[in-house]
Structure 1
Amino acid sequence: AFMIVATALVVVRTLIVIWLAALFRRPRRTNFSGPISVVMAAYNEEKVIAETLRTLLATDYRGEIEVVVVDDGSRDQTAAEVERVGQGDSRVRLLQQQNHGKARALQRGLAAAGNGIVVFIDADTQCQRDTLPRLLDPFADERIGAVSGHAKVGNLRTFIARCQALEYTCGFNLDRRAYNRWKCITVVPGAISAIRKDAIDEAGGLSLETLAEDTDLTLSLHRHRQRIVYVPEAIAWTEAPETVRALARQRSRWAYGTLQCLWKHRDMVFNRNYRALGWFSLPSIWFFQIILVAVTPMVDLFLLASLPFGVWSAVLPFIVIFLAMDVLLATLACMLEREPIVRAWRILPMRLIYRPMLSYCIWKAILRAIKGAWVSWGKLERTASVPVRA
């Protein structure tokens, strides 16, 4: 029964996402040039932060810019790198504090920001020259409260990194393209986004209650009826984990933070006041990103174990449908992002190798949540392997 229900839901959701993505309309160019503040939290980012700042400062954006970098107690030369790049450039300000975590660092940067629109960029994320102009165009409309940019994986040296690149393309970014139509985007990513400062204040500020502060803030913005849009042309290149161990640590934190946000905002699910957010995108996270990811490897193992007994013939059609939907979405996503369609077939080996690891992370997060254990932010070892594209 579970396989029948799950397969039906996968097919329905796939068709809805395809339909909504096809209806997506790119925002018009407005040449918005209001003053902005860029806030960046940094912890042991000496290998990457200089290039991040260089690409950011080389922007084609014509408005006033201030860049606030909060060094969260780094034990390397992060602060020295910021000072070196910012030497003689009054746009760059460095704030230093003891290590209190990313959320507190962002809080301090936000408090120091002097302009009404705040751009959030991760310290390992490189902008293109047109990233900020594209990202900020929608703010010409006073009704827009937040804008999600388009994060892409820039380091493609390992199989693990290439899997994440496809995941960003056919998962995170395709979802935002589709959800934009129904005004139900669930995450304005901390890697590249822009939000009105007064909208953040109205939503209660950046929360310290969850590890996924970007998801938490996005859902709080929805509570206060802020309009959120997605701009696929606002591309920024981020550095993804290149090893299984590093990825598992990152995704365990992400999964735990997502569970925290889902539980904190559980009253929004199936709540008619939140329309598509409550009836489509949030339930999708619960079922497709938590439940299904957790149990799918078990189904795969059951299929393998049933081969000697002939039971597999009853399960195989469902597996084929699942894989077909995966390939269909991946193909559409590659077409929309003008990437080689052949990359969509990478989704098949991902099913056997990559997704079991994600399932492990989900179960680890669930068990930690049940125990009430806290998960630290930890630190992803940087490799500075994202090619400069600015």
Structure 2
Amino acid sequence: MSPEMQSLALLNTAAFLLCVSFLAYVLSILVFHLKSRRSRGGSPDGFDWHVIVPCRNEATVVGDTVRRLLHDFPNTTVWCVDDASDDGTLAELAALADQPRVHVIRRQLPDARQGKGAALNAAWRCIERWLPADADRSKVIVGVLDADSRLDPQCLVALSGRQYFGRPDVGAVQVEVRMLQCAPRRHAPPTETSRWGRLLIRLQDMEFRAPIAAMQSLRRHTGSVAMGGNGQFTRLSLLNEIADEHGTPWHGALLEDFELGLHILLAGGRTEYCRESWVAQEALTRIRPLVRQRTRWAQGSMQCGRYLGKVLRSPRIRNSATLEIAHFLAAPWTQLFGTPVYLACLAVMTWYIDHTSDGLRGWWSAGGWGVPPLMVIFGIGPFALWGVVYRIRCEPQLPLHKALLLGVCHWLYSYAQSVAVWLAFARMVTRRTDWQKTARASDPAPQPDATRAVGRVAVPAQPRRVQPARRPGRSDGPRSIRPPRHLIHLATTTDRPTVAHVRK
């Protein structure tokens, strides 16, 4: 066999193995997803619920989000972290300072804008110091909610069920993510978008509620459920355990949610996925912000590859979970390898068509007719079937032909991830690790710091609490500043975060 034929055979074999492995994975997650059953809820009264809302230039959305949380969850404490916003976010939060269950944590430059994980760590430190020393941390549940989100009013009931926090070995739970523009009208804000924007919204909703939900269904069986950046809930006792070993619960990866899930599994905790409840977030309506978001996710996944050795050696993570985690961590690198393989196959096929007698007709009659069916089965099919699954499991009112068309669009939509992987790889090579917030179409242009116009905000006085003993190995963080004479001054001169403490 000539070297050219050997190279071609090797190329075809690599492409075939990539296609078969991908198709096998899709079928496996599909089976577990279709077999999943819903569980009953429980009583949330046995837990102390805290929700962290990180804010960086969220003036247009954070006020409504916090007010809805206060209305729907009357026994939940809300911690808003202003991460050096310059669009009036702090003024919006100041307007909520008279609410008895709202705490405002202010981070300032140069310590601020170090990523979402750093903002969450600031809130964790404040929660830990605010709680009485004798509080049962295993009953304190800390949730993370994006500033543009809507949480299912029955979420805490679902999370309190015996399958979730009703089980003492469950350390963290991720709820299903939906797109806010696709939520029921009472939850969804009025939007005016183009047809292209509406298609992107629907594709993102299908992505989270079909293939991603299916992946989580498989992970429930392997014991490797991943945490998401929105709608994750964790026991405070487990966050403290991770901090005792590593200094803080959240770390430096751009995919800080998945990184936290790995630490939970390495600590011996159990993670779960709750499809009985949901959190709705605002979908992106333009392709450029979408690619930027997925680039951050892909780079975060690459960064988490450093934990693979610990996962492989850990006696607390079973083999099935190790295999699934390894598959996830290898996914961006597989895409990097697959892109040139598929492009090379396309180039070779084009060359053969061009050099075959009678051109395309001769190539077709010589066996080329088998390529389109293979492309449909191994290329388009694994993506297109999710349109039908989405219709069956989530949107039964969606016409079948639109579901099929949506599935085909999902195949084209997946190429945005391929672009994002290469951009993430370029950022890794150039050692760029800055955290870039995903801008919304409705976000206004940055304005001068609005905190000077806030002045003093009256808040109820907070009695001095007994502070819990400092755990060894924990790094210093933002300390609570006691407001003098029932006032908290929100100025721009201090160099450490300011906390508006209010009585619970």
Tell me whether the two structures share a fold, i.e. TM-score over 0.5. yes
SS at match of 1:203: helix
Q: 1:331 aligns with which of 365, 379, 388?
A: 388
Q: Does 1:129 align with 2:153?
A: yes
* CA apart distance, 1:210: 0.8
Aligned to 2:326: 282
Who is 1:139 aligned against?
A: 165
Aligned with 2:427 (options 351, 368, 374): 368
- The one-letter code matched in structure 2 to 1:259 is M
Are residue 80 (structure 1) and residue 91 (structure 2) matched? yes
SS state of the match for residue 106, structure 2? strand
Deviation larger for 356-365 or 293-302: 293-302
Match for residue 220 of structure 1? Answer: 263
In the TM superposition, what are the counterparts of 1:32-43 in structure 2 within 5 Å? 32-33=44-45, 34-43=47-56
| Aligned 8 A contact 1:268 1:274 in 2 | no
Counterpart amino acid of 1:209? Answer: G
1:89 aligns with 2:99: yes
1:183 aligns with 2:207: no
Structure with the largest fraction of helix = 1
- Give the corresponding residue for 2:142: 118
Shift of 1:213: 0.8
Aligned: 1:107 with 2:121: yes
d(CA) in 2 for partners of 1:246 and 1:172? Answer: 20
Q: Which amino acid aligns with 2:214?
A: L
Aligned to 1:387: none
CA separation of 1:103/1:16 partners in 2, compared to 1, >3 Å: closer, same or farther? same
Distance 1:271 1:171 in 2: 28
Q: Once structures 1 and 2 are overlaid, which stretch shifts more, 267-276 or 134-143?
A: 267-276
| Aligned: 1:377 with 2:436 | yes
In structure 1, C-alpha distance between the alignment counterparts of 2:103 and 2:40, rounded to whole Å: 32
Match of 2:482 in 1: none
The answer to whether the 8 A contact 2:383-2:410 is kept is no
SS in 1 for 2:41: coil
Shift of 1:246: 1.1
| Stretch of structure 1 that moved more, 325-334 or 221-230 | 325-334
- Please state how far the C-alpha of 1:229 moved relative to its aligned partner: 1.1
Query: Counterpart of 2:119 in 1: which secondary structure?
Result: helix
Q: What RMSD, in angstroms, separates the aligned Cα atoms of the two structures?
A: 2.6
Call closer, same or farther: CA 1:163–1:108 in 2, change over 3 Å: same
Greater shift, 139-148 or 332-341, is seen at: 332-341
**Compared with structure 1, are the counterparts of its residues 271 and 146 closer, same or farther at alpha carbon in structure 2 (3 Å cutoff)?**
closer
Q: Deviations over 1:33-60 (max 9, x none)?
A: 211111111000001111211221222x
Superposition deviation, residue 149 in structure 1: 0.8
Moved more, 32-41 or 315-324: 315-324
Whole-angstrom distance in 1 between the partners of 2:302 and 2:19:
24
Question: 3-state DSSP class of the match of 1:155?
Answer: helix
- Equivalent residue of 1:7, what SS? helix
Q: Distance in 2 between matches of 1:178 and 1:360?
A: 27
Q: Counterpart of 2:349?
A: 306
Contact 2:44 2:156 in 1 (8 A): no
- Structure 2 CA distance, aligned partners of 1:263 and 1:371? 18
1:201 to 240, 260, 268: 240
CA displacement at 1:19 relative to structure 2: 2.3
Asked whether the 8 Å contact 1:270–1:278 carries over to 2, the reply is no
Alignment of 1:318 with 2:374, yes or no, is yes
Provide the residue aligned with 1:388 in structure 2: none
- Is the 8 Å Cα contact of residues 248 and 357 (structure 1) preserved in structure 2? yes
Change (3 A) 1:56 1:207: same
Counterpart selection for 2:17 from 5, 28, 41 = 5
Residues 255 and 23 (structure 1), Cα distance of their counterparts in 2 relative to 1, 3 Å cut: same
The one-letter code of the counterpart of 2:321 is L
CA contact (8 A) 2:144 2:230 kept: yes
Flag the structure with larger Rg. Answer: 2
* AA partner of residue 324 (structure 1): G
Q: Which SS does the other structure have where 1:351 is aligned?
A: helix
Distance in 2 (alpha carbons) for counterparts of 1:152 and 1:232: 11
Alpha carbons 2:97, 2:103 under 8 Å: kept: no
Q: Percent identity?
A: 21
User: Is 1:359 aligned to residue 418 of structure 2?
Assistant: yes
Seen in structure 2, the aligned counterparts of structure 1 residues 199 and 117 have a Cα distance that, compared at 3 Å, is same
How far the C-alpha of 1:181 sits from its partner, in A, is 2.4
Native 8 Å contact 2:79 2:123 kept in 1: yes
Moved more, 302-311 or 1-10: 302-311
Helix, strand or coil: the match of 2:440?
A: coil
Larger mean Cα displacement after TM superposition, 176-185 or 89-98: 176-185
Provide TM-score, normalisation by structure 2.
0.69
Distance 2:348 2:251 in 1: 45
CA displacement, residues 71-97 of structure 1 (integer Å, 9 cap, x when unaligned): 01110111221232x254201111111
Q: Is 1:348 the counterpart of 2:408 in the alignment?
A: yes
Structure 1 residues not aligned, in runs of 5+: 385-390
Q: Report the counterpart of residue 460 of structure 2 in structure 1.
A: none
Counterpart contact for 2:285–2:441, Cα < 8 Å: no
2-structure distance, mates of 1:317, 1:300: 18
Q: Distance in 2 between matches of 1:300 and 1:328?
A: 24
Q: How many angstroms apart in 2 are the aligned matches of 1:305 and 1:166?
A: 34
Q: 1:7 to 1:162 in 2, by over 3 A?
A: same
